[in-house]
Amino acid sequence: MTVVRPRRETRPPPLPEPRGPLSASVVNTLRGTGQGLPPLPPDVPDAYGDDLHLALYVLYELHYQGFDGVPDDREWDPGLLALRAKLEDRFLGALRADVPIDASDTAERALDELQLEPIGDDSRSLSHFLRNHGTLEHFREYAALRSLYHLKEADPHAWVIPRLRGRAKAAMVAVEFDEFGAGRADEIHAELFADLMADLGLDTSYGHYVDAAPAEALATVNLMSLFGLHRALRGALVGHFATVEVTSSPASRRLAEALDRMGAGPAAVRFYTEHVEADAVHEQVVRHEVVAGLLAGEPWLDADVVFGIRATGDQEDRLAARLLGAWRDGSTALRTGGITPAAAGGQGT
């Protein structure tokens, strides 16, 4: 039976508010009010900062849903692509410096490490904290920020499919088929997350919470777009995908328990209970077919898979530190303050 949902906003989101000279130049250029893109300054901004990551996020979104009032052909604007490449070089260079890979690192070892669960560790783990101590308002913040990823869930990973062959491609498509609802629009995981948001009184419009998202949240989304848009980083994207699938099931169980304890609605709980079983299966397929299949044909990509795994963990740790630090101080991790409930029956609900 098909679930009948309230209408969701389907127009592209508006352009976000700039956070510095780089993001202002990108946003104003797309609005048609700028004087052109300036050259990247010699003192390139913080590789993990708000200005760079908002600029990069906006440039990447031209390949997804775009923005209201921005022509579709700006996706391949040479000037925008040249600026994006410079920002990517800054971000990727920082990642490689902060996530070094040595000769003893292998994809097999990195995957084994992902399966080592931090027992009861709520000092750095968002899912442990939310299960053990979190409030419903904490979870609403978490869901609002995660919506930047989950409302496009599986999309960036789909870019790797034409870059794979044989068993790796077949297995990747099988897992993605589940992520996209196994042929049922109402079961697409992005739609299930929108149901979770609606249950929590959040606006479900795509990209609605960009202005509220700190740089750490933008960076986790930019990371998978960076990996997805470059064939040279296909191994890193497979590593990112493996990290998501291997760590999802136990974390989803904790998040479902958190929502159940908080008295959230059934749609909110369902998103995570759906992932507990499904991702436990996906974990095995990704490890033994996608990763192993890729490396059987292209063994030289082993270090790239490790890099994708470690870089994903690094960015997730940065986001967790931002949220947990704010929550323990009794404040919010959102840039724009608290979240007001979505208007019943209005756009995006």
- Domain extents in the chain: 21-98, 107-328
CA distances from 75 to 14, 58, 81, 216, 226 (A): 16, 11, 8, 24, 15
Helix (H, G, I), strand (E, B) or coil at 291: helix
Find, among 323, 113, 150, 142, the residue nearest to 239 by Cα. Answer: 113
Cα angle 322-327-328, degrees, rounded to a multiple of 5:
105
Amino acid residing at 81 = L
- Tokens encoding 309: 């795994």
Element (H, E) at 317: helix 302-328
> How confident is the model at residue 338, as a pLDDT?
62
> How confident is the model at residue 5, as a pLDDT?
52
Q: What is the residue whose two structure tokens read 């780089």?
A: 22
> How confident is the model at residue 292, as a pLDDT?
96
Query: What gap in Å lies between CA 39 and CA 50, rounded to an integer?
Result: 19
Helix (H, G, I), strand (E, B) or coil at 212: coil
> How confident is the model at residue 122, as a pLDDT?
62
Find, among 315, 149, 314, 319, the residue nearest to 221 by Cα. Answer: 149
Q: What single DSSP character describes residue 288?
A: I
Q: Phi/psi at 339 (nearest 5 deg)?
A: -100, 125
Give 10-residue mean pLDDT values along the chain (349 residues). 51 94 92 72 80 97 97 94 94 95 92 77 84 96 96 94 97 93 92 96 96 98 98 98 91 94 93 78 89 97 98 97 96 81 43
CATH number of 107-328: 1.20.910.10
Q: What single DSSP character describes residue 63?
A: T
Find, among 223, 278, 279, the residue nearest to 248 by Cα. Answer: 279
Q: What is the CB neighbour count within 10 angstroms for residue 146?
A: 21
Amino acid residing at 11 = R
CB-based contact 167:293 (threshold 8 Å): yes
The 10s digit of each residue's pLDDT in 44-91 is 679 999 999 999 999 999 999 999 999 999 999 999 999 999 999 999
> How confident is the model at residue 283, as a pLDDT?
83
